[in-house]
Structure 1
């Protein structure tokens, strides 16, 4: 109360002070909606081969790097299958080479008209069959190596483990869910747009994500679903952003401010405002006095703040009131 009275008393000594005259300005009009942070990359890794869980290297809440070994299975059967496939491929290759040699020999003899055409055809058919068998055997090696690789489950990207579905010693089959995780490197916001404003937003989508501390992050890409949810009559929207915000985690709530048009509003510099408890005040020039007045503010536009109520056009308000009042 002393400060407010002081402001009235000292007006005559503030002739040097700077004043700001209020006026209407064209500003963007926004609609603020609730949003939720979600990870762009989230997945459940599953077993691609059968086996018994031999080792679990990470658990829930652990951070993993890309390619890190999450789980290891026993691989005795897979190693045996690989060795067998390699042996089969070696035998098939030897047989094919022999058939190739036989075909060339018979071809030379046939050119001298010493063997029947049927023998040449038989040699050619045998060579082709063994060539296909050799190729199949080599493909079996690739498949066996893959099955051996599948006994080691690796992280597809860097992130955090959110769920573990298996225990050490457990026998798993192909398709069994192993672990679930998500990446914090790339996040996005999911929100729901009411149908009554969907047209204004679709025409030229622009939005900022507002964090709990007031920080604003521009949405780089806005994806609006082409249909409305039948229960809520809202359109889902995904907002991608590139700014690294280490304080953000999936599941957190944020505000999403969509531009829906333009309007006329009174903007005043932030330096004119005094905050006292729940009161927002400015000093207004009135006759021969500087009178404190309570106002209601809205959205911030850089160094200016929108005044929703409490001020009219062409009023003069004191800049830096605390400094100016305190010096006199």
Structure 2
């Protein structure tokens, strides 16, 4: 069994080459339309002077971005080393301030108090001595052994010592109530300032490091952007020369509202310049009607002939069956068709070209020793199938059981014998009989008075 459908020849591999220079560009050289090209051959070249200049400028931008990133990384490492040294110095200053405070509270202050008290004691001893001397001089003066001058001198000495004792006691009071408090506050403030400075330094250093890290990330991003731009410009520059990567034939596009493809023409960005099919491997694209698609599957054999090369037979196997109908064909014809692709396995030296029309026969099944008739010889009504059998010059409508079928033949499982003669166009005959009101499906049966249609319904 087979399905016969029309199709077209397509290159298995094909490239549509566009202007990938990302700008309008002039064609400086191009192969001829329809020319056969070989792998590695130059297909076309676009004007590239400005692109080359932009590419070289971008290389400089990349080098500058790389240098900026390297410098930022080095500055970060330097900052980390400097911060570590500064942090240790700040920690040491805070600790020294604490030590000064402890030294004053635990040792120095007590030393100062002890010294002040010692000074008072010594002054009091000096005062006592002066008073004893004054008493001796007064006794001598009273006895006439000392003069007035000596007495007044000793009296003055006692007064001086009394003042000295008073001053020493005042110094102790000042030390305890004023100097000590002031000095302690100064040392505590120094500790507080040193600790605050240390904390400020830690936060400042952390912020500085984060800023430098952010700067590095920013420079990495900038470098990546510059490198991407370089890759784009390099690709733009490289795309001004396009080479064939397989043997094939070149075709110019026939597009309206686009500049004509030729040497010296300016092509727009993304404008198609060449179609470039590989002529060594082919597919057949075939549209199969919805009623037949369930008979088609991947791997089935197919045979095709080309309208342009009638003596050539191409063979192949189905490699793809579309899961959805072709919407464009449905819109144009109103008939749902599914696209299948046949992998052509026949090798030929013939000059095949994409788009050649083909008649494709798909072998859906192989039936042996079966009875079959042309598909137009069978007519169907109400789920039953009939043929017109010719006997003794008269036609007889007979119900048959059908089997598998394709676009031109249908298997008869029962109801016919080999070599029986049939009318070819059963549908036409049935319509003609209906118009003459002689259709065996509508007329009463001579023996039972029932129509074939009524009897068929009763037997269901």
Q: TM-score interval w.r.t. the shorter chain?
A: 0.5 to 0.7
Partner of 1:226: 324
Alignment partners' CA distance in 2, 1:175 and 1:237: 30
Pair 1:163-2:267 in alignment: no
- Pick closer, same or farther for the CA change 1:124–1:181 going to 2, 3 Å: closer
Is the aligned partner of 1:55 residue 2:28?
yes
Distance (whole Å) between structure 1 residues aligned to residue 60 and residue 324 of structure 2: 56
Superposed counterparts of 1:27-66, under 5 Å:
29-49=1-21, 50-66=23-39
Specify the alignment match of 1:185 in structure 2.
280
C-alpha separation between the residues in 2 aligned to 1:214 and 1:93?
63
Q: CA deviation at 1:224?
A: 4.4
Deviation, 1:156, is 5.3
Counterpart of 1:256 in structure 2 is 360
CA deviation map 1:79-126 (0-9, x unaligned): 111111111222222222222222211111111216641443443333
Q: Deviations over 1:137-178 (max 9, x none)?
A: 333322221111122233354311122542222223311221
8 Å CA contact retained: 2:321, 2:340: yes
CA 51–226 in structure 1, closer or farther in 2 if over 3 Å, else same: closer
Counterpart Cα distance in 2 of 1:30 and 1:120: 78
Name which of 344, 351, 359 aligns with 1:241: 344
- Are residues 1:76 and 2:49 paired? yes
Q: Within 2, Cα distance between the matches of 1:235 and 1:151?
A: 40
- Give the TM-score normalised by the residue count of structure 2: 0.46
Written as runs of structure 1 = structure 2, the 5 A alignment for 1:282-321 is none
Checking the alignment, whether the CA contact within 8 Å between 1:32 and 1:255 is kept in structure 2 is: yes
TM-score by length of 1: 0.62
Describe the shift of the 1:257–1:222 C-alpha distance in structure 2 as closer, same or farther (beyond 3 A).
farther
Name the CA distance, whole Å, in 1 between partners of 2:364 and 2:66: 71
RMSD: 3.0
Change in 2 beyond 3 A, CA 1:250/1:92: closer
SS at match of 1:72: strand
More displaced, 63-72 or 83-92?
A: 63-72
- Change in CA separation of 1:250 and 1:83 when aligned onto 2, cut-off 3 Å: closer
Q: Which ranges of structure 2 fall in alignment gaps of 5 or more residues?
A: 90-200, 254-259, 372-417, 420-460
Q: How far does residue 199 in structure 1 lie from its aligned partner after superposition? A: 3.0
Q: Distance in 2 between matches of 1:220 and 1:192?
A: 12
Which structure has more helix as a fraction of its residues?
2
C-alpha separation in 2, matches of 1:233 and 1:119: 71
* Runs of 5+ consecutive residues of structure 1 not aligned to the other structure: 1-28, 267-310, 313-328
Deviation, 1:233, is: 4.1
CA contact (8 A) 1:79 1:148 kept: yes
Q: Aligned pair in 2 of structure 1 residues 107, 67: CA closer, same or farther (>3 Å)?
A: same
Distance in 2, matches of 1:31 and 1:122, equals 74
Determine the structure 2 residue equivalent to 1:26: none
The answer to whether the aligner puts 1:207 opposite 2:207 as a matched pair is: no
Deviation readout 1:263-283 (Å, 9 max, x if unpaired): 4269xxxxxxxxxxxxxxxxx
* Structure 1 contact 46–175 (Cα < 8 Å) conserved: yes
CA distance in 1, matches of 2:295, 2:289: 11
Matched-pair contact (CA < 8 Å) for 1:52–1:169: no
Q: Which residue is 1:91 aligned to?
A: 64
Distance change >3 Å, CA 65–CA 122, structure 1 → 2: same
Q: CA deviation at 1:187?
A: 0.8
